Structure 1
Amino acid sequence: MSDHPKAAPGMSGTPRAVLVPLALAQFICSFAGSNMNVMINDISADLDTTVHGVQVTITIFLLVMAALMIPGGKLTDLYGRKRCFMTGLAVYGVGAVLSAISPGLGALILGNSILEGVGTAMLIPPVYILATLLFTQLTSRARAFGAIMAMGGIGAAAGPLIGGLISSVLSWRAAFVFQALVVVLIILLGRRITDPLPPDPTHPFDLGGAVLSAAGLVLIVTGILAAQTALWLTFALIVLGALVLLWFFRRARAKERSGGEPLVSTKVFRNHVSNLGLVTQNIQWLLLMGTTFVAAAYLQVVRGYNAIQTGLIFTAATLGLLVSSLSAERLAGRRAQKSLIMAGFVLAITGIGVLLGMVGGSSSPWAFTPGLLLVGLGLGAMLTPSVNVVQSSFGEDQQGEISGLSRCVSNLGSSLGTAIGGTILVATTTTDAYAAAMITLAAIGLVGPVAASFLPRNQAATSPQNPVPGVDG
């Protein structure tokens, strides 16, 4: 079979042409999660809020994505992938416009955290489902995932630079206008997409499961944010959140046994390879978003750098992500995905160590460069393999489910990274707090390579138990 991808039945245009709006969609959503990091001082002054207020806004945005990503994936079966994709873009665009004109923190949270978060949860699952259904061969799918994840990683890493440039030249509000314009472009490009599978209006939707899963995740992340108020409250909220998630899982299992269809089938958690891949995804994004927020907040609040200065320092991470992400296809052909993921974690955690060592001993802004470069290289090298491990472990009939779960786990990692690192840093905003936040993130990051070490060495694009139709090898 040829290695060149062909358009799936019902898909207008070439796969490469369709891939452009999908990759741009992942870029803008990832950009939204990190560009505000360099605007902390500007937003705080303009909206009369604090660093903690901006941290809460960013964290809620990431949390809303995580909480609604699984329901968003299931809605694609009910209403269709393209319809969810385009509707999500429209909701996101409205949120971006509202954020740009927000008179206070409340309006910013509504526009950025809620509407943009809901829009992202609706549009991201279709991105990965369409890519999986359209690119059916090992190398072509790796190329598609590589492009999408590269744009996502670059969006997250370049967010500080682009956001800092826009904020310094124009205003922090203009960064949201930029997002709205990109969304309009994606909508125009996305018109060529025709859903490769028909929607099924009769498909059941587990509303109770959606409420329980969202409530459990919200309680856990809110508990972490509450650490500045009272540790007992943190403990109580995290335990309550865990109990709600346990209720969600037991309810799903009971619903399956009675012949119903839960929000997430418990069968997806029986795939050993996929479970390990989900853990690595969660930790990757925890490291990326956690270190980005902590470093950006430290640069602005402690060292007094402005938005563009902070953004320029983050160019090292952007370059690292760009280089390693664009090499994903070539690396996938030479190295096992397990090896790439483990090597990526080693580089990223080493980078955090370098950040701690060099920044603590030097007042130069360039002391951040080597560490951020290593973090970027490491994360870029393992983002695509992790997604491919998870997404390709299931057949077409479960793509909506696993796509939503995969994006939920990744965005939960992002919100946890920002919540944990930010909470430690914002407590005192000193060099010691910066070090404590980075050490905590690095310690949590060690879970990643441990999980990756249990992945099968020869696992590539499919699970032997659940091969995806059409994949060679």
Structure 2
Amino acid sequence: MAVPPTPTGSSTRGPAPSTPRQVLVPLALAQFICSFAGSNMNVMINDISRDLDTSVQGVQLAITIFLLVMAALMIPGGKLTDRFGRKRCLVAGLTVYGVGALLSAAAPGLGVLILGNSILEGVGTALLIPPVYILTTLYFTELADRARAFGAIMAMGGIGAAAGPLIGGLITSGLSWRAAFVFQALVVAAIVVLSRRIADPLPPEPSRPFDLGGAALSAVGLVLVVTGILATDDNGWLAAGLLALGVLVQAGFFRWIRAKERAGAEPLLSTSLFRNRTSNLGLLTQNLQWLILMGVSFVVAAYLQVVRGYDAIRTGVVFTAATAGLLAASLAAERFAKRRTPRTLVTTGFAVTVAGIATLLALAGDTSSAWASTPGLLMIGLGLGVMLTPSVNVVQSSFPEEQQGEISGLSRSVSNLGSSLGTAVAGTVLVADLAFGSYAAALIVLAAIGCAGLVAALLLPHRQGAD
């Protein structure tokens, strides 16, 4: 396993880690807490809405804005790592995140909760997550070692998202929903301490230009698209207008970066990132995986609490099935990677996930048991656990070291956009009428999206490195 030396003159240099675990543990924990933050609020819907005098839609809005801020700022966050250094951005992101978590814990109303959780935690995540993937790629240069490292990080991310409802439910029922944000701040503090032994493998480049115009266009376009989806239930014409405007802004963004390249300037993203067919398909599968994971998490949690009347802890316990499935599949990720190609793993993952959603739907009518949702959730967890790591590895391994900042930011932006779309799309279908019919309709939408992911997976090359 190759560990790159710390360059002389790096402002973030420090003692070289004595073991790979000292690098991997804080990076995996960082992914865990960010994924946890995206799903743990799902079991607090009733508690937060009562305490802050808001509605299910208000809590959905806070969750979606958090995920959207991450998606909108992840690409700029990836570029900033080159300019200021990966270690420095990691610590800065953790600090902003911790402040947001503490502010959320003390929130007197929905507005302050959105500021702390949705804005500050979202900005912090956009700063800290790209360094996680860049540092992993730089430290683990062998394909097998990199697959193992990404497997651990994606396992922690998936477990954070899947176990968020259980951990959040336990904390909310035992203490309060505010204590869940204090828990996040404590984990972040632990990560800061653990990350002291991480040395930045490459020096920062303070003079490197930053494409502010491209960053603004990219962020505004993503915000408009997701906002359009959220507005669908209230005003169809407004939603259509926002979606159309978002598409136009994104088209303007691509024209902008092409013009920057033609002029010899450095754009926010190189257009070469979009010419790699294998990477494009990998990015699409990442987006759809997180869309399904967060969509299922929000829909099932909202249905169990609002329609079935479950409390936070009972809802969280039901989600242990998804956590168990995801953990089991993630622990076997290294063994799977040695025996099967990424294409096979991603294809299998989508097939199992769609079957899990179908099972969830088939058993949804059984109102006599709290465990009717567990077989489907278990299958969904297994399916997602099988394919999260190979999708990331396909994308990261498609580009050389000098483009890792760009592709890491793009990869995480695409994944977090999937998370925000999952909550927005499935949540919009569900909250239109919180009843069994809307619950079934939301699951059918997610199953159809899973089928689209299966098609994309079948188009991946049969072997790593083929394009």
CA contact (8 A) 2:22 2:198 kept: no
Residue 84 (structure 1) aligned with residue 89 (structure 2) = yes
Report matched runs for 1:389-468 at 5 Å: 389-459=394-464, 463=465
**C-alpha separation between the residues in 1 aligned to 2:424 and 2:368?**
27
**C-alpha separation between the residues in 1 aligned to 2:281 and 2:2?**
31
Alignment partner for residue 312 of structure 1, among 308, 317, 330? 317
Three-state SS of the structure 2 residue aligned to 1:203 is coil
TM-score (norm: length of structure 1): 0.96
**C-alpha separation between the residues in 2 aligned to 1:379 and 1:122?**
25
State the one-letter code of the partner of 2:278: V
Deviations 1:258-303 (A, max 9, x none): 1011101111000010000000000000000000000000000000
Deviations 1:339-397 (A, max 9, x none): 00000000111100000000124431111010000000000000000000000100000
Q: Sort the Cα spacing of 1:356 and 1:464 in 2 relative to 1 into closer, same or farther, 3 A.
A: closer
**C-alpha separation between the residues in 2 aligned to 1:454 and 1:346?**
14
**C-alpha separation between the residues in 2 aligned to 1:82 and 1:320?**
33
**C-alpha separation between the residues in 1 aligned to 2:238 and 2:271?**
31
Q: Could you list the runs of 5+ residues in structure 2 that have no partner in the other structure?
A: 7-14
Three-state SS of the structure 2 residue aligned to 1:48 is coil
CA contact (8 A) 1:6 1:15 kept: no
Question: Counterpart of 1:114?
Answer: 119
**C-alpha separation between the residues in 2 aligned to 1:266 and 1:447?**
25
Question: Counterpart of 2:261?
Answer: 256
- Greater Cα shift, 352-361 or 49-58: 352-361
Report matched runs for 1:218-237 at 5 Å: 218-237=223-242
Deviation at 1:445, TM superposition (A): 1.8
Deviation at 1:464, TM superposition (A): 5.9
Identical-pair percentage = 71
Three-state SS of the structure 2 residue aligned to 1:365 is coil
Deviation at 1:6, TM superposition (A): 3.7
Three-state SS of the structure 1 residue aligned to 2:373 is helix
Question: Counterpart of 1:103?
Answer: 108
Deviation at 1:205, TM superposition (A): 0.4
Q: Could you list the runs of 5+ residues in structure 1 that have no partner in the other structure?
A: 466-473
Report matched runs for 1:222-301 at 5 Å: 222-301=227-306
Report matched runs for 1:14-25 at 5 Å: 14-25=19-30
**C-alpha separation between the residues in 1 aligned to 2:366 and 2:47?**
28
Question: Counterpart of 2:10?
Answer: none
Alignment partner for residue 348 of structure 1, among 349, 353, 356? 353
**C-alpha separation between the residues in 2 aligned to 1:226 and 1:15?**
46
Deviations 1:28-87 (A, max 9, x none): 000000000000000000000000000000000000000000000000000000000000
- Greater Cα shift, 337-346 or 224-233: 224-233
Residue 7 (structure 1) aligned with residue 12 (structure 2) = no
How many pairs were matched up? 458
**C-alpha separation between the residues in 2 aligned to 1:229 and 1:343?**
38
**C-alpha separation between the residues in 1 aligned to 2:178 and 2:320?**
22
- Greater Cα shift, 388-397 or 8-17: 8-17
Deviation at 1:428, TM superposition (A): 0.8
**C-alpha separation between the residues in 1 aligned to 2:189 and 2:420?**
27
Question: Counterpart of 2:53?
Answer: 48
Three-state SS of the structure 1 residue aligned to 2:265 is coil
**C-alpha separation between the residues in 2 aligned to 1:186 and 1:361?**
43
TM-score (norm: length of structure 2): 0.97
**C-alpha separation between the residues in 2 aligned to 1:73 and 1:15?**
23
**C-alpha separation between the residues in 2 aligned to 1:221 and 1:464?**
33
RMSD: 0.8
Residue 136 (structure 1) aligned with residue 132 (structure 2) = no
Deviations 1:233-259 (A, max 9, x none): 111101100000000001101110110
4+ long deviations beyond 3 Å: none
Residue 204 (structure 1) aligned with residue 224 (structure 2) = no
**C-alpha separation between the residues in 2 aligned to 1:57 and 1:157?**
19
